[in-house]
A and B are shown apart, each in its own frame.
Chain A
């Protein structure tokens, strides 16, 4: 029953999205033997869903752009809660990471002079997003996938074995990180096809598992997004940072019900699409917050002029950062000015000729046509907010991606700090590349600096095996699907886009009950060997992770008594400079639950602080922090 395989690697990367693949490429390029573990097939990761583009200050379209401007935009978007060092590294290194993709075969859309074209996006001062139509994520994943294949071909030429130095473990799920004392020594996983267990022995593990959206009912995330990396790290003793910040993308599909939440790219607005309510009013003009008053157009005429003459006009408020737009849509729907299907209208049909819509937004055209039978060149879409991205994540060292546990690294959405309280569109794809590479480097440096390699203690493996098999001991236990649905409902309704202390307390009580029920979840044998391709079992194991992140989110959301970015408290609507100095950190409590503590925010380096006008800094910082 518990026979298992063991495989040894130098670096194990968990997650095969953009960050994981980039980390694996880096570790392999530096001569290490690498495993990439993926919950789905190779090349299916959630990165494919990213549409808009990869933000990098290459200055191809507007030569005024540079890393300082990008840094400023990122800090503003994150409401200054970002880890400034990460924001700096990201802005500095993003162009190189994008150019590197091109050298690996990526084909971005071009400018007239043959360079990589860049498009406008919410929160970005200049056209900055390298893109391929509206399928940039697919291009990124395919390019890194094909780079891995290229490296495997090199290894094959040298050793006769494609998998000599880099192997992709597709449809394999890690359920536990293994530790030798206080250090990482490997990971414990099951292979989906057979349900068999594998122990990966490795001194360094890079987590790149993405987000937590499946803890919510309405989400743009796929089934894989169950907070695995967050939970694995926390259970291994690492810390999670600012988990209360969750980005609700303003525009998700609202109909049909089965695809509610699926993303409608921000490029629709970047390319001229406008948001209107049931009265036909472009309501975003009513929702420009004071901190953005200077940067955004106040009349429709000016906003419309911006698309053709961005240097002399301010941008339309449809392109405000995502949190602002999501809240505005939420407010319009609550005020009874929503669309028939419970969202608002997003119209591009009256703004662009049909031929241009199809050329610029091919996958949106396709998506609405196929899924909702709506032709976006002829009629408006109906859209509403959807859980999209978690800004919070594993607390890491900005330069190396190292978590607080020796041997553990994290990159991409599952790491925290880079995006502060709100992520700008387009920053995630370059985040994956910049910090994927850095985490890969960090892991290699760590392995190189290691004296003796850690060994995997048998007790750890036995405990992990028992934990994974536990649901089978209760064939008549709770139905995992039912528990999952209740968890999603709790999070969606009580820890959603607008939060109050009372609801958060109710949510925390609900989570206590759900923790009990999850311990009672059971499944029956199915498939070859009882565990082969067993969706109920997989979900039963994922529930633990979703519960842990849900507890972190709810606790941190209750603690932070202000509204900022992806965290809106109805009972504390203002943004507080005092709270800006506070990071909320989750860690494993003695009783196996989640504990929360406050931690001071490190002060920004003075040369970076000088990039901002004092007047602007006053909106975010306390008196004593001002230069």
Chain B
């Protein structure tokens, strides 16, 4: 059942490195991470790779396989032909620590900038929320923080200079999650645009394409968030209405 697969793995540190060729045994039912582990155990004991649960639940083993951002543990070898050369590189958007391991601290820094959940005056045990009201945010909370969406987003992948101004799909989705959270009382629309760079997103949907949890990031989080921002910032009728006093609050997402 087993066969020898051709692998090209990027190896190096401090940004410098190159693709190295390997031939390695592959058995039925294996995923790319198994093959990387076999390389570690048999050919290159110091090959660095970050992994953890090996079941697609923790989002640690993000990398790029044949150019596509993927989880190493969720990419089955059966999706490749036996004579295909399989190229594995670290994610490109974040600085490389060594081999396939990158420094993802950008994401944790962004996470800290998003204002946290604010439940107002409701005490523990007193929350009453309907299932239909929590479902939108629940979808976003499926996120395993693999940061593949952050990696693939061209806004920062191809334009490193946008990194300070742009939180990336993961954290714009976090803003949307709180914005749609039925018990949250803050209004995060201004900051979504001004502080987290929602306007930089041009909805080309690569984040949705790579999401291993199949979260509809663009359609369910980013676009609805853009629409909410329009209501707050760009809607001339709302603006006019607020000037002449018909619309009291230029605000159309408060709990109605």
Contact = CB atoms under 8 A, between A and B. Distances in A.
| A and B physically associate | yes
Interface of A: 40-44, 46, 48-49, 95-96, 99-100, 102-105, 107-110, 113-115, 117, 132-133, 135, 138-139, 142, 146-147, 149-150, 152-153, 156, 162, 170, 193, 222-224, 255-259, 262-263, 362-363, 366-367, 370-373, 479, 481, 523-524, 526-528, 532-536
Contact of A43 (B112, B127, B145): B145
Contacts of A110: 129-131, 134
B116 A102 contact: no
| Interface hub of B46, B101, B111, B138 (most chain A Cβ within 10 A) | B46
Nearest to B111: A149
Interface residues of B, number: 64
Give the 4 A-B CB pairs with smallest separation, nearest first: A256-B29, A526-B46, A105-B117, A114-B128
Contacts of B57: 48-49, 135, 138, 363
A43 B59 CA distance: 9
Contact of B54 (A109, A222, A363): A222
20 contacts: A49-B57, A100-B124, A103-B127, A105-B178, A109-B138, A110-B129, A110-B131, A135-B57, A142-B141, A150-B116, A152-B112, A153-B116, A222-B52, A257-B27, A258-B54, A362-B142, A371-B31, A371-B56, A535-B45, A535-B46
Contact of B144 (A48, A132, A149, A524): A48
B245 interface: no
A44 B71 CA distance: 14
Interface string B67-78: 000000010101
A226 to B, nearest CB: 13
Given A107-B181, A153-B112, A41 B60 contact: yes
B63 to A, nearest CB: 14
A375 to B, nearest CB: 15
A367 B76 CA distance: 12
B148 interface: no
Contacts of A259: 31, 54-55
A105 B181 contact: yes
B219 interface: no
A372 B29 CA distance: 7
B112 A371 contact: no
B230 interface: no
Nearest to A162: B112
B53 A48 contact: yes
A538 to B, nearest CB: 10
B199 interface: no
A107 B123 CA distance: 15
Contacts of A366: 56, 213-214
A48 B58 contact: yes
Most B-side CB within 10 Å, residue of A114, A263, A367, A523: A114
A35 to B, nearest CB: 16
A535 B41 CA distance: 10
B31 to A, nearest CB: 6
Contacts of B31: 258-259, 371
A103 B131 contact: no
Contacts of B130: 110, 114
A26 to B, nearest CB: 15
Contacts of A114: 127-130
Contacts of B134: 107-110
B214 to A, nearest CB: 8
Contact of B142 (A108, A138, A193, A371): A138
Contacts of B55: 49, 259, 262-263, 367, 371
Interface string B25-65: 00111110110000011000111111111111111100000
B104 interface: yes
B212 to A, nearest CB: 8
A222 B142 contact: no
B228 interface: no
B125 interface: yes
Contacts of B97: 193, 532-533
B45 A524 contact: yes
Contact of B128 (A46, A113, A223, A362): A113
A99 to B, nearest CB: 4
Contacts of B53: 44, 46, 48-49, 222
Contacts of A263: 55
Contact of B98 (A255, A524, A528): A528
B122 interface: yes
Interface string B175-186: 000100100100
Given A142-B141, A371-B31, A533 B101 contact: yes
B71 to A, nearest CB: 9
Nearest to B29: A256
A259 B73 CA distance: 9
A446 B99 CA distance: 44
A40 B101 CA distance: 12
